[in-house]
Structure 1
Amino acid sequence: NSDLVCLQSHIYFRAIVEQLTGPPANKLQSYELTEEQWLLAGAVEEVLLLFQNLTDLFSQAEVPLIVEALPMLEVLEVALEGAREDADAPNVVCVAAQAALLLLDKYSVFTNECELYQIAIGKL
C-alpha cells in the first residue's frame, strides 16, 4: 500500500507540488507533471485502491482463512476486468489490469485443482 499512499499524498498536495516544481528558481521542473500525467495518476490511484482491502487483510498478523481470501480475490478479479474494459481509462492502466488478471489466474488454478479449497468455500 505504500505506492498507493505515496500517490494519494502527491495528488492531495497537487497545488503545493506544482508550486515547488514549477518555478525555475527551484530547479525542479524536470519533476513537474503534465496535466496528462496528473490524470494518469488519478487513474492509477483508482486501480491501486482495488488492492487495498486485500493488502490490508494479508498484512495482518493473523493469516486469513481461505474462506475469507477467495471471495475477496473473486471481487478483485471482477473489478480488474472492469478496469481493463474501461474505454475511458488510459491504455497503460488497461494493460496493467490485464497483467494483474494474468497473475491472479496463475494462482487461481491452484484453488480450482484442490477439492479442499472448493469445499471450504462451498463450491462442492
Structure 2
Amino acid sequence: AISGYILTKIMKGEKAITTTLVKDEVLIWLSRYKASALHKFIHSLRALVYLEIISPTLNDQEEACINFGKYQLGISDLINLAVMRRKNINEIYTTDTSYSSAGIKIIFHELSKDPDFKAFIKNLENKGFKPSFH
C-alpha cells in the first residue's frame, strides 16, 4: 500500500527521480514472473510526468566501483547512490535499510503516518481492494 501511495504522490505532482537501473530491474522481474504486465508498466511510466528517469554515467559507475565494499550496498545500489550524490539527493523511498550506511535518509514506513495516507487507504478499500502493509 505504501508503494502505491508513493506513486500517487508522484502522479499528483511530487517530483521524483529514479534511474534506468531501477526501471530495468522491474522490467527483468516482470519478464520472468509477470510478462503480461510489461507493456502496462512502460505505459504507466510514461504517465508519471513528474518522475524523471536518469541514466547513470560512466563517472557514476566508476564512483560505484571505488565505493564497492565501503558500504553495505551491491553494485547496482552503489551506482544509484552515485547518481543521487551527483544530483544532491540525500533521501530515498525504499525499504532497503542499507542506504543508511552511506548517509542516505530512508523514507518509507513513516509515510503511513502522512495525513493523506489514511484517505488513500480508504479510497482503495472503497474500490474493493484490501491493502497490505508488508
Superposition TM-score, scaled by structure 1 size: 0.30
Superposition TM-score, scaled by structure 2 size: 0.29
Structure with the greater relative contact order (CA < 8 A, sep ≥ 6): 1 or 2? 2
Of Structure 1 and Structure 2, which has the larger fraction of its residues in helix?
1
